Homo-oligomer: A and B are copies of this chain.
Amino acid sequence: MAAELTAHELIAKHRPTLDQALEAIRTRAYWSPHPEHPKAYGENGSLDMAAGKAAFDALLGSRLDLGQPGTDDWVGGETSPYGIELGVNYPHADLDELLPAMKAGQRAWRDAGAEMRAVVCLEILKRISDRTHEFAHAVMHTSGQAFMMAFQAGGPHAQDRGLEAVAYAYVEQVRTPDTAEWTKPQGKRDPLALTKQFTPVPRGVALVIGCNTFPTWNGYPGLFASLATGNAVLVKPHPRAVLPLALTVQVAREVLVEAGFDANLVALAAERPGEGIAKTLATRPEIRIIDYTGSTSFGDWLEANARQAQVYTEKAGVNTVLVDSAANYKGMLSNLAFSLSLYSGQMCTTPQNLLIPRDGIRTDEGPKTFDEVVADLARAVDGLLGDDARANALLGAIVNPDVKARLEAAAGLGEVALASREIANPEFPDAVVRTPVIVKLDGAKPDDEAAYMSECFGPVSFAVAVDSSAEAVELLRRTIREKGAMTVGAYTTDAEVEDAIQEVCLEESAQLSLNLTGGVYVNQTAAFSDFHGSGGNPAANAALCDGAFVANRFRVVEVRREAQGQA
Once the chains are docked, how many angstroms separate the CA of A558 from the CA of B176? 28
A354 CB, nearest partner CB in chain B, Å: 19
Which residues 170-195 of A sit at the B interface, judged by CB distance below 8 A? Answer: 172, 175-177, 180-186, 192, 194
Contacts A507-B201, A557-B505; A567 near B331 (Cβ below 8 A): yes
The reply to whether A510 and B567 contact each other, CB–CB distance below 8 Å, is: no
Q: Given the complex, which residues of B lie within 8 Å of A518, measured CB to CB?
A: 192, 562, 566-567
Q: Given the complex, which residues of B lie within 8 Å of A25, measured CB to CB?
A: 175
Contacts A180-B28, A203-B536, A556-B534; A514 near B546 (Cβ below 8 A): no
The reply to whether A543 and B556 contact each other, CB–CB distance below 8 Å, is: yes
Cross-chain contact of A546 among B176, B192, B516, B546 (Cβ < 8 A): B176
Contacts A192-B518, A518-B562, A557-B512; A201 near B28 (Cβ below 8 A): no
Contacts A182-B526, A547-B175, A567-B328; A560 near B514 (Cβ below 8 A): yes
Q: Given the complex, which residues of B lie within 8 Å of A184, measured CB to CB?
A: 30, 526
Which residues 528-557 of A sit at the B interface, judged by CB distance below 8 A? Answer: 529-531, 534-536, 543, 546-548, 551-552, 555-557
Once the chains are docked, how many angstroms separate the CA of A196 from the CA of B30? 11
A224 CB, nearest partner CB in chain B, Å: 18
Cross-chain contact of A510 among B185, B303, B543, B557 (Cβ < 8 A): B557
The reply to whether A198 and B28 contact each other, CB–CB distance below 8 Å, is: yes
The reply to whether B304 and A558 contact each other, CB–CB distance below 8 Å, is: no
Once the chains are docked, how many angstroms separate the CA of A174 from the CA of B518? 30
Contacts A198-B28, A520-B562; A535 near B555 (Cβ below 8 A): yes
A1 contacts the other chain (CB 8 A) = no
The reply to whether A555 and B530 contact each other, CB–CB distance below 8 Å, is: no
A479 contacts the other chain (CB 8 A) = no
A390 contacts the other chain (CB 8 A) = no
- Copies of this polypeptide in the complex: 2
Once the chains are docked, how many angstroms separate the CA of A506 from the CA of B201? 6
A17 contacts the other chain (CB 8 A) = no
Report the nearest B residue to A552, measured CB to CB. B548
A57 CB, nearest partner CB in chain B, Å: 30
Once the chains are docked, how many angstroms separate the CA of A186 from the CA of B558? 49
The reply to whether A517 and B548 contact each other, CB–CB distance below 8 Å, is: no
Q: Given the complex, which residues of B lie within 8 Å of A526, measured CB to CB?
A: 182, 184
Report the nearest B residue to A566, measured CB to CB. B518
Cross-chain contact of A557 among B203, B331, B511, B520 (Cβ < 8 A): B511
Report the nearest B residue to A198, measured CB to CB. B28
A27 contacts the other chain (CB 8 A) = yes
Q: Given the complex, which residues of B lie within 8 Å of A551, measured CB to CB?
A: 546-548, 551-552
Once the chains are docked, how many angstroms separate the CA of A182 from the CA of B184? 47
A519 contacts the other chain (CB 8 A) = yes
Contacts A183-B30, A547-B172; A196 near B530 (Cβ below 8 A): yes
Report the nearest B residue to A535, measured CB to CB. B555
A484 CB, nearest partner CB in chain B, Å: 13
A561 contacts the other chain (CB 8 A) = yes
Once the chains are docked, how many angstroms separate the CA of A566 from the CA of B519? 10
The reply to whether A177 and B557 contact each other, CB–CB distance below 8 Å, is: no
Q: Given the complex, which residues of B lie within 8 Å of A505, measured CB to CB?
A: 557, 559
The reply to whether A546 and B556 contact each other, CB–CB distance below 8 Å, is: yes
Report the nearest B residue to A28, measured CB to CB. B180
The reply to whether B556 and A177 contact each other, CB–CB distance below 8 Å, is: no
The reply to whether B181 and A506 contact each other, CB–CB distance below 8 Å, is: no
Q: Given the complex, which residues of B lie within 8 Å of A513, measured CB to CB?
A: 559-561
0/1 interface trace, chain A 20-31, chain B, CB 8 Å (1 if under): 000001111110
Contacts A328-B567, A331-B567, A530-B196; A28 near B562 (Cβ below 8 A): no
Q: Given the complex, which residues of B lie within 8 Å of A196, measured CB to CB?
A: 28, 529-530
A25 CB, nearest partner CB in chain B, Å: 8
The reply to whether B194 and A567 contact each other, CB–CB distance below 8 Å, is: no
The reply to whether B552 and A519 contact each other, CB–CB distance below 8 Å, is: no
A206 CB, nearest partner CB in chain B, Å: 14
Show 17 residue pairs from A and B whose CB-CB distance is below 8 angstroms, ordered by the A residue: A28-B177, A29-B182, A30-B182, A30-B183, A30-B185, A192-B518, A192-B519, A509-B555, A512-B559, A512-B560, A514-B559, A514-B560, A514-B561, A515-B561, A518-B567, A520-B562, A552-B552
A-B contacts besides A29-B183, A511-B557, A534-B555, 16 pairs, CB < 8 Å: A28-B177, A29-B180, A29-B182, A176-B546, A201-B509, A203-B536, A304-B307, A506-B557, A512-B558, A513-B560, A520-B560, A534-B557, A546-B551, A547-B547, A547-B551, A548-B548
